[in-house]
Amino acid sequence: MAKKWNLVIDVSRCMDCNDCFLADKDEFTGNDFPPYSVAQPWSGHRWMNIMRTERGQYPLVQVAYRPTPCLHCDDAPCIAKSPAGTVFKREDGLVIIDPVKAKGHPEIVATCPYEVIYWNEEAQVAQKCTGCAHLIDEGWTDTRCSQVCPAEAIKLVFADDAEMAAKAAAEGLEVLRPELGAKPRVYYKDLYLFDKAFIAASLAFGDTDECAEGARVTVSETSGGAVVGEAVASNYGDFYVDKLVPGKEYGVTIEAPGYAPATRIINLDKSVNLGTIVLGRP
Amino acid sequence: MGDVKRYTNGTTGGPVFVDVKDGKILRILPMTFDDSDAPSWTIDARGRAFTPPRRAAVSPWTVAHRSTIYSPKRILTPLKRVDFDPKGARNIQNRGVSGYEPISWDEAFEMVADEIVRIHREVGPAGVMSTPGSHHMWGNVGYRHSTLFRFLNLIGYTYAEHNPDSWEGWHWGAMHMWGFSHRLGIPEQYGLLEDALKNTEMIVYWSADPESSCTGVYGGNEGNIRRRWLKELGVKMIVIDPYLNHTQALIGDKWFSPRLGTDVAMGLAIAYTWLTEGTYDKEYIATRSTGFDEWKDYVLGKTDNVPKSPEWAQQESGIPAREIRALAREWASKKTMLAAGGPGGMGGASRAASGNEWARTMVALAAMQGLGKPGSNIWGTTSGVPLDCGFMFPGYAEGGISGDTANSAAGFRFVNRMFPNGGGITNPHHTTEGQTVPRLRIPEAMRHETVEWRGKGFCGSHIESQFQKYEYPAQGYPQVEMYYRYGGSFFGTMTETNRYVTAYREGKVPFVVNQAIWFEGETKFADVILPACTNFERYDISEGANCSGYISDSYTFANHRVIVFQQKCIEPLGDSKSDYAIFEGLADRLGLWGPFTMGGKTELDWVKDYYNATDMPKVMPWDEFAEKGYYVVPSPAPEDRPKPALRWFAEDRPKDTPDWGPAPWDQVKGAGLQTMSGKIEFVASSLKRLEATGTVDPERPAMGPQYFESWEGHHTADLYGRYPLQLVSPHPKFSFHTMGDAKDSWMNEVKDNRVLVDGHFYWIMRVNAKDAAERGIADGDLVRAFNDRGSVILYAQVTERVPPGTVHSYESSGDYQALGEPGHSPDIAGCVNILTPKRFITPTSTAMANNSCLIEVEKWGGAAGSAAAGGAGKNGAVKEGVA
């Protein structure tokens, strides 16, 4: 089976430099690359869209960025829902909007549940990331975004489907919104930084006013009681119990030898900093 | 794509390949290295081998350069303000409002040359004031110390001297504690990457955001991978910054956000903990420092009855005492690098009231933990890469084709190689014997006021040079009659910048020429505009990240030493010309063509001369260099790598790093620091001598570091009552000063840089959710940030990345757009320095305190559309068909 195009993006490495976003603009703005694309407009398109999220509240806050290109899905909604022949899939997996056949079809923009397609008013064509198909054809082993990324957060992987599935399993890679069944070819590492929630707090010993280093924290689901996360407070008394599914109710138990345990019930709609929790003697 | 030709060039954010097709730039790529280039270094540490990627890691504005080269804001023909008549009504009150009309180069040259001659005849050459922006186009021949100084030194002028705007406190404070005047108070960084990889257990980033591409200085994003290695090795990362910066977001384990202006209190409390718990390096302090006991008594409160305890610091900083103790204990127990500012000696805390004392605090804390011993140093994580410091290729501040030995570092080594038979030009008017103006007082000079200050510009020749008093006008010198502005916009970067706006319109300078590439905020206030081209449209030569002359051997910001022939990729756009060609045209009309061009040298001739004056001919013939376009300097063998910074000092040996200072007369037997004792001085001998000559600066005492309540902060009750938000305005992540911003480039579309609302790209202000809620401000609202100095309209990003009471907005807007009368109405381009105080950080330190700034913020209901109607609107001031 032939090697196919896959992109692996490591959320934990992205520091929002925007080099990928800008390299995409550098490649495609004002430049036609037939048969894959006509020039991107000077302003307004985000073929590589960098999403930002903040989790928690001051001072226990985490920030992450997620570069988001076209995901080049294997069961691509854009191909299924667009007029026949306007959007096609290459043998290497890349999904291409044909800039000639797709002209005059703004409805293509709305076919993508991931919202990665943009309308080019001047050229009257729907546009998106081409996966740098024209460069791949020339023998490039990088896309512009993977080539420019100083953090090596974006990597182009040529692999057949079995190899890629094995790699995804071995490295814990995920795709965006798998429930859609679109089978994206863009994989993410440490996606929890974006779509899961944490419970955090600063713990202090009331009698000494020292940070409660070593206090043990257990988080369990209130329905069923299964333990879903554990943490030990750092030397600053902080803990984060992460990778929790938001929208559920959790019980938090904090224990330190010689101190009375503290408990909290949290209805977790988003990441939360419980603030300073002072542990007292029993 | 068969007709694509690949060129090489250099930028402030790294070296690049440039693909050109049909005379237009197709794409710009970070430079990659292949097997024909020298291999990269490898550092073996803790069982792993670390080697960098074989490519440049460039800054975002470098990736976006095609959009600034072809920017809609490019100036493509010489322009004259429509209501400016040098022989009649000049209408300077209309600067910034009335539009422009195209004129020919002949007309432009005649007009400027006539004014220069008039001023020579009427008041003398010092009637011409000039200064460039901090960061112009890259290239050692075209750079400001080079081509600009060659021209200006020939015509004579008053230079508006730059202050060390990025590291003020190090220059005015730390220098008195440990010297390094040749580095303007900033320490050497040699060998520290290897030292850290092998030995360091914790890094404290204090007022440092190396993941913000600007504070990696010219290294772009080259250091990112090194910090990842350290993180993978388990090195703990602590970030102390009012803003949850990008370094904390990426790798931080713990974030502290002390109230603005209270970093010194937190630092003293760390020292207090070490003193009371006995966890500092007593032997080092005893042998490598002086004055410690006196300072120790101050910290413990024996002299002023105020123990600088964590509880005391909690009151000032808002950081819980127990967390300060925890930090002090962890710091004392681990080999710690103090990243005090991105490059190790910089940081917004040094650009504030008591910035001098903060920098001294950094030195004091590092000293108490054995500064210079393995794994323990002041190191910004951005440099100290094991490169060959013996290969001679100068940096941009070493004079280039000016050979100016008074105002660049040309005298250090380069001038004699570049001009073996003479031809370098130094002008005594532009020395301590002549007249200068501090850049922070340009508006006052333009208003023909008198100004007094200390220190001439980047006065690093010796420690005492910053004490020297100056006045404007200098004795027997004229007030300035002409302003020759060159690149950049100070409206976004200096302090209380409505001063700069109104000086144009309400001051007394009858002629302003601006030599510029783009319509930046300040460009629009000139009478005549001379359009320069970018470095992609002319020849030049440079090395990535090398600003030596400012920061010695600064190419160690990068992972490779890359010498670049900056090939002319395209013809100058429109009627724009290279800076050299513009000066050549003026020199011709002033009878100076011969000396300026040294008998007719072209830019390419100068580039070849430059190449021949370096070590390049030893390793690569010119023809090969010109063809290939770059050369990677081989990395030295492990045993030949530069020795670790300050290890020699910690071990009391003669200095063995490649550093070019201190000067022989400022050291004894090649050992010791530049201070009088040769040691780290907690009672600064230099400041004591200043006091002995009758000058006592209560904010810069001989014994220190000491904590002083900020003169614009939470203790200034009346002001704080009216303006309860503290503004921090760091160097930007997405621009290098004003260079990368505005210009209608793709940088406008970077989400965390500017945001498009109703057709206008607004600059961002970050507001804590609590402060926002109290003011009825929602995420995405437009807000007016204001104080008595002016107001700026910004886009509110509601966030938890700043604590309540603190607002964050990067400095360096490249544009300025007044809603009404310029200088007296809100700016919608984002020049937050309109709000910052003009006061020097201390009475005797000619430095700016941008981060001591109180403001209020309110929701704004106006619309940008009204901007075009009056004032210096987006394109409204430019006549059709001009830009």
- Domain membership of residue B166 (yes or no) is no
For the question of residue B396 being annotated catalytic, the response is yes
| pLDDT tens track for B11-39 | 999 999 999 999 999 999 999 999 999 99
Whether the per-residue pLDDT at B866 is higher than 60: the answer is: no
CATH number of the domain encompassing residue B760: 2.40.40.20
Same-domain pairing of B685 and B744: no
Determine whether the interchain pair A17/B66 forms a contact, defined as Cβ–Cβ distance below 8 Å.
Answer: no
Residue with tokens 């429930």: A179
Same-domain pairing of A173 and A223: no
Contacting residues of A for B25, CB less than 8 Å apart: none
- Per-residue tokens: B692: 């002995």
Same-domain pairing of B779 and B859: yes
pLDDT score at B2: 56
| pLDDT tens track for B155-214 | 999 999 999 999 999 999 999 999 999 999 999 999 999 999 999 999 999 999 999 977
- Of B79 and B871, the structure prediction assigns the larger pLDDT to B79
The C-alpha angle with vertex B493 and arms to B490 and B496, in degrees rounded to 5, equals 85
Whether the per-residue pLDDT at B474 is higher than 70: the answer is: yes
Whether the CB-CB separation of B86 and B562 falls below 8 Å is answered with no
Number of structural domains (chain A) is 2
HEC per residue, B564-632: EEECCCCCCCCCCECHHHHHHHHHHHCCCHHHHHCCCCCHHHHHHHHHHCCCHHHHCCHHHHHHHCEEE
Whether the per-residue pLDDT at B775 is higher than 70: the answer is: yes
Whether the per-residue pLDDT at B132 is higher than 70: the answer is: yes
Q: How far apart are CA B557 and CA B387, in angstroms?
A: 10
pLDDT score at A2: 81
Same-domain pairing of A249 and A175: no
Residue A276's H or E segment, with its range, is strand A272-279
Candidates B1, B560, B751, partner chain A, best to mutate (most A CBs within 10 A) = B751
Same-domain pairing of A182 and A260: no
Determine whether the interchain pair A44/B320 forms a contact, defined as Cβ–Cβ distance below 8 Å.
Answer: no
Same-domain pairing of A139 and A268: no
Domain that holds residue A177: 4-194
pLDDT score at B862: 75
| Mean pLDDT within B335-347 | 93
Determine whether the interchain pair A43/B748 forms a contact, defined as Cβ–Cβ distance below 8 Å.
Answer: yes
A235, B160, B516, B578 from B531: Cα distances, Å: 58, 22, 5, 8
pLDDT score at B863: 61
- Domain membership of residue B578 (yes or no) is no
CATH number of the domain encompassing residue B686: 3.40.228.10
Same-domain pairing of B687 and B789: no
Contacting residues of B for A16, CB less than 8 Å apart: 246, 249, 733, 752
pLDDT score at B875: 33
Q: How far apart are CA B200 and CA B190, in angstroms?
A: 15
- Phi then psi for residue B827, to 5 deg, are -100, 135
Q: Which residues make Cβ contacts (< 8 Å) with residue B122, sequence separation at least 6?
A: B481
Whether the per-residue pLDDT at B872 is higher than 60: the answer is: no
For the question of residue B605 being annotated catalytic, the response is no
Helix (H/G/I), strand (E/B), else coil: A7: strand
pLDDT score at B429: 85
pLDDT score at B720: 98
pTM over the 0.95 mark: yes
pLDDT band at B878 (very low <50, low <70, confident <90, very high): very low
Task: Check the CA dihedral B609-B613-B616-B619 and report its sign.
Answer: positive
Same-domain pairing of B725 and B843: yes
CA distance A219 to chain B (A): 21
- For B366-408, the DSSP string reads HHHTTTTSTT-EE--SS------TTS----TTS-TTT--TTTS
Q: How far apart are CA B550 and CA B180, in angstroms?
A: 12
pLDDT score at B97: 96
pLDDT band at B737 (very low <50, low <70, confident <90, very high): confident
Helix (H/G/I), strand (E/B), else coil: B119: helix
Same-domain pairing of B788 and B747: yes
- Domain membership of residue B497 (yes or no) is no
Whether the CB-CB separation of B140 and B540 falls below 8 Å is answered with yes
pLDDT score at B879: 28
Same-domain pairing of B761 and B682: no
| pLDDT tens track for B505-537 | 999 999 999 999 999 999 999 999 999 999 999
Same-domain pairing of B359 and B211: yes
From the list B83, B165, B553, B609, the catalytic residue is B165
CA distance B866 to chain A (A): 22
| pLDDT tens track for B246-295 | 999 999 999 999 999 999 999 999 999 999 999 999 999 999 999 999 99
| Alpha-carbon torsion angle A169, A175, A180, A185, nearest 10 | -90
Q: Which of A168, A194, A220 is the last residue of a domain?
A: A194
Number of structural domains (chain B) is 2
CATH number of the domain encompassing residue A18: 3.30.70.20
Pairing of strands B48-50, B43-45: antiparallel
Chunked mean pLDDT (size 10), chain A, 282 residues:
92 98 98 98 98 98 98 98 98 98 98 98 98 98 98 98 98 98 98 97 98 98 94 98 97 98 98 98 94
Contacting residues of B for A150, CB less than 8 Å apart: 57-58, 220-222, 224-225
pLDDT score at A1: 57
ipTM score above 0.90: yes
pLDDT score at B488: 87
Q: What's the mean pLDDT when you consider all of chain B?
A: 95
Contacting residues of B for A46, CB less than 8 Å apart: 749
pLDDT score at B43: 98
Determine whether the interchain pair B734/A18 forms a contact, defined as Cβ–Cβ distance below 8 Å.
Answer: yes
pLDDT score at B216: 75
The C-alpha angle with vertex B629 and arms to B626 and B632, in degrees rounded to 5, equals 120
pLDDT band at B864 (very low <50, low <70, confident <90, very high): low
Query: Of A203-207, B550-554, B875-879, which one has max mean pLDDT?
Result: A203-207
A58, A191, A198, A269, B778 from A246: Cα distances, Å: 19, 14, 9, 5, 24
Closest CA to A50 of A36, A69, A37, A35: A69
| pLDDT tens track for B385-420 | 999 999 999 999 999 999 999 989 999 899 999 999
Helix (H/G/I), strand (E/B), else coil: B139: coil
For residue A39, the tally of other CB atoms under 10 A from its CB is: 16
| pLDDT tens track for B355-379 | 999 999 999 999 999 999 999 999 9
Same-domain pairing of A115 and A32: yes
- Domain membership of residue B49 (yes or no) is no
Determine whether the interchain pair B63/A23 forms a contact, defined as Cβ–Cβ distance below 8 Å.
Answer: yes
Whether the per-residue pLDDT at B719 is higher than 80: the answer is: yes
Domain that holds residue B732: 717-867
Q: Which of A194, A218, A234 is the last residue of a domain?
A: A194
The percent of residues in chain B predicted with pLDDT above 70, rounded, is 97
| Mean pLDDT within B872-882 | 31
| pLDDT tens track for B815-849 | 999 999 999 999 999 999 999 999 999 999 999 99
Q: How far apart are CA B19 and CA B3, in angstroms?
A: 10
- Per-residue tokens: A16: 């929002």
Same-domain pairing of B746 and B688: no
Same-domain pairing of B808 and B681: no
DSSP B634: P
pLDDT score at B431: 86
Same-domain pairing of A65 and A150: yes
| Mean pLDDT within B675-687 | 98
- Per-residue tokens: B682: 């907690």
Residue type at position B488 = G
Residue type at position B316 = E
